[in-house]
Amino acid sequence: MMERIKKIEKRALLIFACLSFYYPALTMACPSGFLSQEASYDQAFYNDDRWGKSDFVRIAETLEAIYEPIVWQETGFDLVIYKSWASETVNAFAKQDGDKINISLHGAVLRHPWVTLDAFTLLVCHEIGHILGGQPMLAGTSWAASEGQSDYFATNKCLKRLWAIDGSMSSWEIPPDLDFYVDSCRDRYNSSDDRKVCVRSLMAGASIASLYWDVANQNEPFPEVPLKDPTIVKYTQLMHPSSQCRLDTYKAGAWCRKDFNDPFSNYDSKMGACLRDNGDLLGARPQCWYRARIPKS
């Protein structure tokens, strides 16, 4: 009983912090959408029948079942995922509403011809990452991880946890002609299953970064796994980085060898993460959006 009271008190503090920043709104949409802007919906372009409503619902319900108790345990919020298969909105959102965090998923994302089932799964993981991704967090909120950190959570924690639970890796085979993916994952992991999870995560990241480029950033070069965004920021960027930078973040999460049970923290950006300070340049959050705090001498 006392534990539940403490959870309720913690939840009340989090709600008040978001309320105080967004007052007088009663419903807070603290983070922005997964995409920085929505695509104009073209029925012909988005009428991709590779996947259907059953795939959409299955992925959402699977992750909801896994993370609903974790979100409650870690934050005191109830997790609710709304599934709108018929929606023509090409985006996804996480929003605080009282004592709940609502995630809104829209079927148009999965109907985009560049989006695979694993890429859509990664997108759902990103939205959950807003809740559990920890530092760095969006300005003015006490619960919502930044866009880059939510991307990092998606491949560093969420996909690894899902594929460890659902047993799908036993039958999943690495497609041919992915030499860079395979070589980079072989350098990071010793076990065959870990390498397969790594390659599969890179493939999902490449697919969803392509969606982001198509919708929001066609003035930039097309994102590719072997490439790297050369930007080095002076200050951590909390909102959406470039398409290549997002892909670099998915790569870093996949290459980071931290266990998915090692959680991120709302108070310490080093917890649960691979760190450049420790020499892990590949698994650390990329400098195209993240700037580690320099300790005062």
Residue 215 has pLDDT above 80, yes or no: yes
Q: What is the mean pLDDT of residues 116-140?
A: 96
Dihedrals phi, psi of 27, to nearest 5 degrees: -115, 125
Dihedrals phi, psi of 255, to nearest 5 degrees: -80, -15
Q: What is the mean pLDDT of residues 215-222?
A: 87
153-267-150 Cα angle (round to 5): 20
**Confidence category of residue 31, pLDDT binned at 50, 70, 90:** low
Distance CA 120, CA 159 (A): 11
Dihedrals phi, psi of 105, to nearest 5 degrees: -110, 140
Q: How many percent of the chain have pLDDT more than 90?
A: 77
Residue 133: which residues within 8 A CB-CB, separation 6 or more? 145, 146, 149, 150, 152, 153, 264
Q: What is the mean pLDDT of residues 175-194?
A: 96
- The helix (H) or strand (E) run that includes residue 92 is strand 92-97
100-106 and 78-84 strand pairing: parallel
- What pLDDT is recorded for position 136? 97
Residue, of 64 and 12, whose pLDDT is higher: 64
Neighbour-count burial for 210-221, b at 16+ CB within 10 Å, e otherwise: bbbbbbbbeeee
Residue, of 176 and 45, whose pLDDT is higher: 176
Q: How many CB atoms lie within 10 A of CB 131?
A: 24
- What pLDDT is recorded for position 27? 32
Task: Give the model confidence (pLDDT) of 35-54 as tens digits.
Answer: 776 666 777 677 778 999 99
Residue 61 has pLDDT above 50, yes or no: yes
Residue 135: which residues within 8 A CB-CB, separation 6 or more? 145, 149, 264, 265, 266, 267, 268, 269
Task: Give the model confidence (pLDDT) of 146-173 as tens digits.
Answer: 999 999 999 999 999 999 999 899 899 9
- What pLDDT is recorded for position 1? 45
Q: What is the mean pLDDT of residues 246-274?
A: 97
Residue 252 has pLDDT above 70, yes or no: yes
Residue, of 35 and 113, whose pLDDT is higher: 113
For all residues of the chain together, what is the average pLDDT?
A: 88
Amino acid at 92: A
- What pLDDT is recorded for position 40? 64
- What pLDDT is recorded for position 43? 74
Distance CA 137, CA 129 (A): 11
Residue 296 has pLDDT above 80, yes or no: no
**Confidence category of residue 65, pLDDT binned at 50, 70, 90:** very high
Lowest mean pLDDT among 58-62, 216-220, 270-274, 292-296: 292-296
